[in-house]
């Protein structure tokens, strides 16, 4: 079953097309950990997905780059999931679930997220969309 879940994680970007990056997957003693970033913002590129697991806590990192000549308003939402696919609810206490911000023209911004301690996450899903004004 875990092999099927891993195959699903690896195939998801193919189904979502060019609007998705990842998942970046690492294998650990507790199983694979994936970072999947889905972006629907034109001219905002997702780069350099990284995942690390230490002491049962995952750290994920990626960059957003604004390739547009104008400022882009971006809204990002994140969700941590456990090995059974359930949302880890206490992740709200670690990182805000969603936030909006502006990306200046040609700006490259780093995003780093940490899972709740002891949660044994297997995936972080980030959705990047247009933010409202």
Residue ranges of E strands in the chain: 20-28, 31-39, 44-54, 57-66, 72-82, 98-103, 108-114, 121-130
Write the burial class of residue 106 (CB in 10 Å: 0-12 exposed, 13-18 middle, 19+ buried).
exposed
**Residue-wise pLDDT tens digits, 23-79:** 677 776 667 788 888 888 888 998 888 888 877 788 888 899 999 899 999 998 888
Q: Note the CATH architecture for domain 2-130.
A: Sandwich (2.60)
> What is the predicted pLDDT for the residue at 127?
85
- pLDDT tier for residue 17 given thresholds of 50, 70 and 90: very low
The residue ranking higher by pLDDT, 108 or 131, is 108
> What is the predicted pLDDT for the residue at 69?
92
- pLDDT tier for residue 105 given thresholds of 50, 70 and 90: very high
Contact by Cβ (8 Å): 58, 52: yes
Q: Where are the domains of the chain?
A: 2-130
């Amino acid at each position: 079953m875990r092999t099927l879940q891993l195959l699903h994680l690896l195939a998801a970007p193919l189904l979502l097309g060019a609007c998705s990056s990842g998942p970046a997957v690492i294998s650990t003693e507790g199983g694979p950990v994936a970072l999947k970033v889905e972006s629907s913002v034109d001219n905002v590129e997702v780069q350099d997905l990284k995942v690390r697991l230490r002491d049962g806590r995952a750290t994920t990192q990626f960059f957003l780059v604004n390739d547009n000549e104008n400022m882009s308003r971006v809204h990002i939402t994140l969700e941590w999931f456990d090995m059974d696919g359930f949302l880890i609810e206490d992740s709200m206490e670690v990182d805000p679930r969603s936030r909006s911000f502006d990306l200046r023209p040609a700006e490259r911004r780093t995003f780093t997220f940490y899972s709740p301690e002891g949660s044994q996450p297997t995936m972080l899903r980030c959705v990047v969309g247009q933010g409202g004004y």
